[in-house]
Amino acid sequence: EPEVTQTPSHQVTQMGQEVILRCVPISNHLYFYWYRQILGQKVEFLVSFYNNEISEKSEIFDDQFSVERPDGSNFTLKIRSTKLEDSAMYFCASSPDREETQYFGPGTRLLVL
């Protein structure tokens, strides 16, 4: 069964450094998403992406964040200058269309020191 994959599974970085989290969505899906979950808190929506542009974003998704689909398979989330409070689990998801079920990846655990 096709699945969403994410790399790396864990990343440790120093405050102020840039990180790029990578995702490979399911190949025939058109909508892509990033969510995050700070330890002990809710899963929060960050951004959705369709047709090579952001279709929806939350208040969390500020200028520190950017997303890109650099080629036909990868979907990336970049955090330009990480802060301690960016430490969280980051989930990527994809769906065939916006009202259809989203399929989630296993997550990348980011720790900012």
Partner 1 sequence: GDSVTQMEGPVTLSEEAFLTINCTYTATGYPSLFWYVQYPGEGLQLLLKATKADDKGSNKGFEATYRKETTSFHLEKGSVQVSDSAVYFCALSDPASGGSYIPTFGRGTSLIVHP
> To the nearest whole angstrom, how small is the minimum distance from the Cβ of residue 70 to partner 1?
22
Please report how close the Cβ of residue 29 comes to partner 1 at its closest, in angstroms. Answer: 14
Q: Residue 82 or 95: which CB sits closer to partner 1?
A: 95
Q: Please name every residue paired with 21 in a beta bridge, in sequence order, or none if there are none.
A: 77
Do residues 107 and 93 lie in contact, with contact meaning Cβ atoms separated by under 8 Å? Answer: no
Interaction site with partner 1 (CB under 8 A): 3-4, 6, 33, 35, 37, 40-45, 48, 56, 91, 93, 98-99, 101-107
Nearer to partner 1, 93 or 110 (CB): 93
C-beta of 32 vs 82, nearer to partner 1: 32
Apex 70 CA angle, 67 and 75, nearest 5:
50
CA distances from 112 to 31, 81, 90, 99, 103 (A): 29, 10, 13, 34, 27
